[in-house]
């Protein structure tokens, strides 16, 4: 990035937040204005990384510190591309950089041993997020969502998570059956775009 707010500055400010708090919601509330600043940087995502893949959203690691205390990721959503219903098992913020996406929220409900089916993945809400909007996730109760781009334009989201999310074991949930399976969603690039 040329001028403005840099990922180095973000790193220093997130370090300050993490030094004084470990509560997910407190971290999210403190990190939200930092993501707001990042979303306003017009050259945050280099041109070469703004194109979606043909069949799946693209996932680029923008930045992570050596200790992997957090990571900053850009997702490029082609028209009609979608991510299955998933959790994160770590705090995270989702910012709309360009275009719009639809986010559906879910809660996993355990009906108890012997119930058939035992688990239910219930849809709670649906919102359309547009440029500048910020959403968030944190375990255990506010962690499951599905994201899609039902629109005709490319959408770009920028996320901050409390670990390297490209290494994090987490889960995909099936709202039809209540079943879940673990997954690791790796970045499309090995070396972060920014250091
Ligand atoms: Fe997510």
* pLDDT tens-digit readout, 26-43: 999 999 999 999 999 999
**Are the C-beta atoms of residues 133 and 100 closer than 8 Å to each other?**
no
* Residue 146 alpha carbon to ligand 1 centre in Å: 7
Rounded to the nearest angstrom, the distance between the alpha carbon of 13 and the centre of ligand 1 is 23
Ligand 1 centroid from CA 4, angstroms: 27
Distance 180 CA to ligand 1 centre (A): 15
The answer on pLDDT for 47 being more than 70 is yes
Distance 114 CA to ligand 1 centre (A): 31
Q: How far is the CA of 111 from the centre of ligand 1 (A)?
A: 25
d(CA 86, CA 116): 22
Reply yes or no on domain 7-183 having CATH 2.60.120.10.
Answer: yes
CA distance 25 to 37: 19
Tokens describing residue 133:
């909007």
166 Cα–ligand 1 center, Å:
12
Confidence band of 2 (pLDDT split at 50, 70, 90): very low
> Residue range 57-75: average pLDDT?
98
Ligand 1 centroid to 142 CA: how many Å? 11
pTM: 0.96
The predicted structure's pLDDT at residue 122: 97
Distance CA 174, CA 168 (A): 19
Instruction: List pLDDT tens digits, range 106-159.
Output: 999 999 999 999 999 999 999 999 999 999 999 999 999 999 999 999 999 999
55 Cα: distance to centroid of ligand 1 (angstroms): 18
Q: 37 C-alpha to center of ligand 1: Å?
A: 21
What's the CA-to-centroid distance between 135 and ligand 1, angstroms?
A: 10
42 CA to centre of ligand 1 in angstroms: 23
For residue 50, the CA-to-ligand 1 centroid distance in Å is: 19
The whole-chain average pLDDT of the chain stands at 96
Say which residues have a Cβ less than 8 Å from residue 167's Cβ, sequence separation at least 6.
68, 184, 186
Mean pLDDT for the stretch of residues 63-91:
98
The pLDDT of residue 3 is above 70: no
pLDDT in tens, 150-188: 999 999 999 999 999 999 999 999 999 999 999 999 999
Ligand 1 centroid from CA 74, angstroms:
12
Residues 96, 92, 174: CA angle, nearest 5 degrees: 90
């Amino acid at each position: 990035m040329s001028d403005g707010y840099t990922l180095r500055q973000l790193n220093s400010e997130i370090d300050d937040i993490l030094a004084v708090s470990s509560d997910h919601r407190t971290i999210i509330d403190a990190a939200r204005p930092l993501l707001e600043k990042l979303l306003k940087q017009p050259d945050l995502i280099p041109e070469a990384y703004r194109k979606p893949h043909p069949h799946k959203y693209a996932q680029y690691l923008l930045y992570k510190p050596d200790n992997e205390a957090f990571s900053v990721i850009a997702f490029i959503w082609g028209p009609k591309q979608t991510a299955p219903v998933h959790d994160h098992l770590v705090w995270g913020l989702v910012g709309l950089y360009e275009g719009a996406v639809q986010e559906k929220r879910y809660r996993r409900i355990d009906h108890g041993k012997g119930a058939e089916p035992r688990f239910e993945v219930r849809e709670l809400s649906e919102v359309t997020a547009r440029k500048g909007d910020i959403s968030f996730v944190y375990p255990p109760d506010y962690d499951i969502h599905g994201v899609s781009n039902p629109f005709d334009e490319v959408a770009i989201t920028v996320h901050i998570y409390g670990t390297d999310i490209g290494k994090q074991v987490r889960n995909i949930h099936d709202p039809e059956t209540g079943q879940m399976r673990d997954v690791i969603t790796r970045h499309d690039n090995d070396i972060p775009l920014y250091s």
